[in-house]
Amino acid sequence: MDVIPAIDLLDGRCVRLYQGDYEQSQVFNDDPVAVARQWAEQGATRLHLVDLDGAKAGHPVNQAVIREIVQAVDVPVEVGGGLRDRDSVAELLSLGVRWAILGTVAVEQPQLVEALCQEFPSQIIVGIDARNGKVATRGWLETSEVEAVTLAQQMQGFGAAAIIYTDIHRDGTLQGPNQDALRELVGALSIPVIASGGVSSTRDLFKLLVLEPQGVTGVIIGKALYTGDLTIKDATRAVGQGRWQDIPPDFGSSVIA
């Protein structure tokens, strides 16, 4: 299982939101490029970037910072936020970004996602951000009536490389992942699922490892890395290079059932 540090960009700075609320943002660093270098130097093998300004505006905003980050690190980068047309995706990938993450358009323009999956095979990831099982759009400012599992199955059929699932109620809270929702999602899919939201401890990672054989292949960690609740080294050790069999025997069957 991959441990993927998150870098959320707002006004050119590295921030974390609480449950997706732009009014509850906390600035952790004024230099996102330095943060990216730090995570890479500490052993991250992949980075997750979100253009929060872009998600809110409906078009990419932080391309200059994203370009600097891609040039500054030797690990692949995935980016989401405001990618709602073909040209925005093409421009982003031209910067050297490995994967473009599509969110709002998966609900509002699913045919565009299908076309992009065909044009950029293996480079399109669909981000599904959910409140109570329903998909949120437009920077989490709106909630649709679309079920997360239904959308994920449709995107799998279109050729999406993976699904990133974020439980908005857990994001930025350090309360642990929504294991029930993830179990339902991976049970309905055959493509990789990357979990996001709420991870704060190695215990949370062990909960995800139980789902790893079914399809949870990565975990995005944000606030816990910035607060020091987790380090990349400890998180990587906890997931045991992706070997779910390495879960400690005393972890507790009642927790992982």
| Angle CA 92–98–100, to nearest 5 | 50
Contacts of 137 (CB under 8 A, 6+ apart): 103, 104, 107, 108, 129, 143, 144
Residue 78, classified by CB atoms within 10 Å of its CB into exposed (0-12), middle (13-18) or buried (19+), is buried
- Report the alpha-carbon distance of residue 91 to residue 4 in Å, rounded: 23
Tell me which residue of 68, 67, 63, 55 sits closest to 20, measured CA to CA: 55
- Report the alpha-carbon distance of residue 91 to residue 86 in Å, rounded: 9
Q: Does 234 qualify as catalytic in the annotation?
A: no
Q: Is-contact 256 207, C-beta < 8 A?
A: yes
Half-sphere exposure of 58 (CA within 13 A, CB side): 2
Q: Is-contact 114 158, C-beta < 8 A?
A: yes
| Angle CA 207–210–216, to nearest 5 | 95
The catalytically annotated residue of 8, 51, 53, 204 is 8
The catalytically annotated residue of 51, 129, 167, 204 is 129
* Helix ranges restricted to H, 95-222: 104-108, 110-119, 148-158, 179-188, 202-209
Residue 23, classified by CB atoms within 10 Å of its CB into exposed (0-12), middle (13-18) or buried (19+), is exposed
Q: CA torsion, points 30, 34, 40, 42, in degrees to nearest 10?
A: -90
Active-site amino acid positions? 8, 129
